[in-house]
Structure formats: C-alpha cells, structure tokens
C-alpha cells in the first residue's frame, strides 16, 4: 500500500534525520475563543457541509490523492475508513484521501523527514512550537490567502480571531481546530488503585501530595510504575506550568502582569518539581527507562504497567482517558487554569510544500469543518463495525457488542485533533451539552502574553544550539535520573553559552510590540 511505502522509506533513513525544534511541556496563552458552529452532537450527520467555499472555481480535472498525516495510534481498518470517506470526497472534489498515522514518539522525526524530502505530504499536523521552524524552513506554505478565499466554514467554527492564531510574522502556518483553549496541570490516576490505597482525588492538590499515595499503591503493586513518562515528556517537564512562548527558551510565568520574559529553568517552580521527581525516582516510583522510552503514557497504563501520569485537562478528559486506557481514570488538578496560545494553536492543519493542488486541498479541509459524516468517519470509524448508537436521538455512541478499547480495529478518539469535533457524535458517558462545557472552560483568565507566537527567524542558529543543550539534559532531569541540584545549574550555564540571553532579548522585543499593539 502507498502509505506503507511512505512509512518504510521514512524509517529507512530515520537515523539520519536531524531533530526539529520541539517545545517543552510548559504552556502558553491565547486570544479569545471564537464561537463554534454547532452546540449539538451531530446526530443528524448527513455530510452536507456548507459548500460555498467548494464552489469556487478550482481546477479539479485531474484526480488527486491527498496524503493526510495525523499523530496517534494506527488501526487495521484504516483502509476501510478511507474507502468510506472517499465515497464523499471523490465525487465532490475528484480526490481521495490516504491517511498516515505517526505515533507520538516518532512524529517529529518522521514528519520532518517527509517535509524535507520530495515525498507528497499534503495535510500536515503542525504541533505548537514547530510551526515557525517548518514555515521558516520552507517545509510548509503560508495559508493566509487560502484561508481568506476558501475558509468559510472554518471561520464560522472557530471564529476569525482564533482562526489566524497560528501566525508567525503575518504568515499562517496552520488552521486551528475547535478544542480546549485553556490549560492547567493535573495528575490522572487509575481510580481502582487510588481507592484501593485509601485515597481520593480530594487528597491531592500538589505534586508533593502524591508521595503518600504512591507509597501505598507501590506497596500493593511493587511491579508497577507509579508515574508514567517518556522521552520528551518526562514527569518534571510534563508538570511545567507557564507560557512557554513557543519554545520554552524564555517564558512568562502565570503570575506575571508586566510581560517579563524569564528563564524557566532558573525558576523555583522548575527546581522544586525536579527535586520532587528526583525523590520519587529514588523510591522506585518512575521507570528507570523513563528518559529513553518512546511508549506513550496512556499506553503504559493500558498495558497495566503504570498507575498515573501528568496531563492537562478539559471537559470530558476522564472519559477520554478511560476509553484510551481501558481503566476508569480520575484526575486531581495541581494548578489553576489560564487560557493559552499553546492550547489554541496546539495543532494546526498545515499544507506541505510538495502539495500539487493546495487550493483543492484547502477546499477539502474547509469542507471537513462542516461535514458531520466525515468527522464521524475520521474520528470514530464506520457505524455498526466500529461503533453503534447508545442513543441515536441524542447522537450518543458506544462500542458494538464484543468490541472494546483493547481489541477495536478503528477509533481514533481524538476529537482534539479533528477539524471540528462539535458536529460529530458524542461517546457514551459524555453529556450532549459537552460543547457548552468547553466554552465555559475556554473562558479562563488570559495571561498578558495570550495570543503571542514567537517568530524565531532571527535566532535560528541559537535556537538550534539551545535545543541541543536542552536535549542533553532535560530528559535526565525530568525523569529523576540525575541530581537536579547539580544538573540544573550545569544546564543553565550551557544554555547561556548557547545564546539564551540573545533569544530572550529577541523574544522580549517581540512580546513588548505585541502587548503595545493590543
């Protein structure tokens, strides 16, 4: 199959690929959330999205296959889902879709590899922090004119202010999806093991409160890891709480009202988190391979090897993670909530440089924002095979008899990555009013830097050097593998030598201009 050929080619030269810039776990803030198109559940999903944008004069005489990448688990029935989606796309746009999935542990390298070569990659999931690099390196195109011309549905779904948030120097690298636009830090735990140990989420209010919980659970389940993590998302990093201003090299702390860019790795918050994680690691609560393993946190829980992990929250997150892990999950918030650019721009759908027909691809993307049928197929699969109705009138679905999270053959359960999850069906356990809950969640207090995205084009050399330094230290510190009392000062000294002060100065100047323009 074509997708396998692409994946095999990517894997063949993966070791030679250089790492692209990646953001740290701390977060950033965003502008006002726009109104969504629908508060319903998509129960009347007929796939009849608004076609005004699609009726623009675009040459569709040549058949075309859109290579559409996403980040997440892959399933054996993807080809069947593609066939159903193509029954809609082919007659309307004379194109078909070829879906390629990359795991969270590999997507940065493999996407960068494909975007750097000649392989076709039309729709690109651009994660916050990577957009400026992709755009400045010419790996994806500026979508501003395409959005202006063909973005009718997406404008209605996310609002025009939100729609242009993936903005670097006036150029648009991606179209955001409707999702949670606020952020916090929390710990997600298996409810059965938490209760077995005699605790509830009401007993946990900070990272320090987890010690007694982990001690009791570990006594009963010595073979398990108490706190899951992986390379690039180790626990001390996943618990970061700030506006990382796109890359983490100079941040805004949540309590800051003036907009002063500071070095997060010198902050008391980072030092304290690292010290606590170091203590937990010495007690055996973390995997010794945490700094190098690629398995995601939820798959570790699903495999029965891990008890908890750090995560941001949103309405319905407990059900989402319960479906993903196969265990009933509950969370305890560790911080307050603020609206974040990192959440609003967390994923933007970009168009790769090798796309042959960007206007037609843009039309398909816009159509998806208004097509319940396509949204349901992409996220949930085929009715009767991958899901059935629990309440058809309310648009609530569940697994068919005999199907569960362990044996399902399709079901992304990734509304947060879909163009417009608000017009798709709602999984059993969520209320049909879940999108109203999202609006309330998205009304959290903004930071002074909300909506700002850093243009790193003037400091690309420094960013590259800083990334190398951070990669050398951060996973070891974040997993408790080294003593932070020695490692953090050493890392900060290396960051200074690599040009951190210059990046902070450039970032401060851009942020000052952004604040002055409000």
Alpha carbon dihedral 257, 344, 267, 337, in 10-degree steps, equals 70
Give me the pLDDT at residue 88, please. Answer: 97
In a domain, 440, yes or no: no
In a domain, 409, yes or no: yes
Residue (of 30, 36, 33, 31) closest to 156 by Cα position: 36
Give me the pLDDT at residue 393, please. Answer: 93
Give me the pLDDT at residue 57, please. Answer: 58
Alpha carbon dihedral 363, 368, 374, 377, in 10-degree steps, equals 120
Which two three-digit tokens encode residue 352? 């790769």
In a domain, 72, yes or no: yes
In a domain, 448, yes or no: no
Give the residues of the chain that fall short of pLDDT 70: 1-57
Which two three-digit tokens encode residue 147? 């959005």
Residue 258, judged by CB atoms within 10 A of its CB (0-12, 13-18, 19+), counts as exposed
CATH number of residue 406's parent domain: 3.40.190.10
| Edge-to-edge strands, sheet with 396-398 | 388-391, 396-398, 426-427
Give me the pLDDT at residue 74, please. Answer: 94
In a domain, 81, yes or no: yes
* DSSP-H helix ranges across 62-199: 78-93, 107-116, 131-136, 144-150, 152-158, 160-163, 191-196
In a domain, 445, yes or no: no
d(CA 332, CA 355): 44
Number of domains in the chain: 1
Sign of the torsion formed by the C-alpha atoms of 150, 153, 158 and 160: positive
Give me the pLDDT at residue 11, please. Answer: 36
Give residue-wise pLDDT tens across range 197-231.
999 999 999 999 999 999 999 999 999 999 999 99
Give me the pLDDT at residue 153, please. Answer: 97
Give me the pLDDT at residue 56, please. Answer: 53
Domain span at 48:
2-179+344-431
Alpha carbon dihedral 102, 468, 167, 97, in 10-degree steps, equals -20
* DSSP-H helix ranges across 262-340: 268-282, 297-302, 317-325
In a domain, 77, yes or no: yes
In a domain, 439, yes or no: no
Within a 13 Å sphere around the CA of 179, how many CA atoms are in the beta-carbon half?
24
């Amino acid at each position: 199959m074509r997708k396998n050929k692409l994946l095999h080619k990517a894997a063949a030269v993966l070791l030679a690929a250089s790492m692209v810039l990646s953001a740290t776990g701390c977060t950033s803030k965003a502008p006002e959330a726009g109104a969504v198109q629908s508060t319903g559940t998509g129960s009347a999903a007929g796939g009849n999205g608004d076609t005004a944008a699609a009726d623009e004069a675009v040459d569709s005489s040549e058949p075309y296959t859109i290579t559409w990448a996403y980040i997440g688990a892959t399933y054996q029935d993807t080809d069947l889902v593609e066939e159903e989606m193509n029954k809609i796309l082919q007659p309307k746009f004379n194109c078909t879709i070829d879906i390629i999935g990359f795991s969270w542990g590999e997507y940065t390298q493999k996407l960068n590899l494909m975007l750097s070569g000649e392989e076709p990659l039309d729709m690109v999931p651009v994660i916050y922090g990577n957009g400026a690099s992709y755009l400045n390196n010419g790996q994806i195109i500026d979508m501003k004119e395409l959005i202006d011309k063909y973005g009718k549905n997406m404008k209605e779904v996310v609002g025009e202010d939100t729609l242009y948030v993936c903005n670097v120097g006036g150029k648009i690298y991606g179209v955001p999806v409707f999702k949670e636009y606020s952020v916090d830090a929390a710990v997600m735990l298996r409810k059965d093991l938490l209760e077995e140990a005699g605790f509830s989420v009401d007993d946990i209010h900070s990272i320090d409160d987890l010690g007694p919980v982990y001690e009791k659970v570990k006594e009963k389940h010595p073979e398990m890891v108490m706190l899951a993590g992986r390379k690039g998302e180790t626990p001390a990093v996943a618990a970061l709480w700030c506006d990382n201003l796109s890359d983490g090299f100079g941040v805004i702390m949540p309590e800051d009202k003036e907009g002063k860019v500071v070095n997060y790795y010198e902050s008391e918050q980072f030092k304290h988190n690292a010290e606590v994680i170091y203590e937990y690691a010495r007690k055996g609560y973390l995997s010794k391979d945490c700094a190098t393993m690629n398995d995601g946190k939820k798959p570790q829980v699903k495999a029965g090897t891990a008890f908890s992990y750090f995560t941001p929250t949103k309405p319905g997150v407990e059900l989402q993670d319960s479906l993903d892990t196969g265990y009933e999950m509950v969370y305890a918030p560790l911080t307050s909530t603020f609206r974040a650019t990192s959440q609003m721009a967390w994923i933007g759908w970009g168009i790769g440089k090798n796309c042959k027909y960007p206007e037609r691809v843009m039309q398909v993307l816009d159509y998806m924002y208004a097509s319940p049928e396509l949204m349901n197929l992409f996220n949930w699969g085929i009715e009767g095979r991958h899901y059935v109705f629990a309440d058809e009138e309310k648009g609530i679905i569940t697994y068919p008899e005999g199907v569960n999270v362990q044996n399902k053959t399709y079901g992304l359960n990734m509304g947060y990555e879909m163009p417009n999850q608000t017009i798709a069906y709602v999984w059993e356990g969520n209320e049909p009013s879940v999108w109203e809950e999202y609006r309330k969640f998205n009304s959290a207090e903004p930071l002074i830097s909300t909506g700002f995205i850093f243009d790193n084009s003037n400091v690309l050399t420094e960013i590259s050097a800083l990334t190398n330094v951070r990669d050398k230290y951060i996973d070891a510190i974040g997993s408790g593998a080294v003593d932070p009392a020695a490692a953090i000062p050493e890392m900060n000294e290396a960051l200074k030598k690599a040009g951190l002060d210059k990046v902070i100065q450039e970032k401060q100047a851009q942020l000052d201009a952004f604040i002055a323009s409000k």
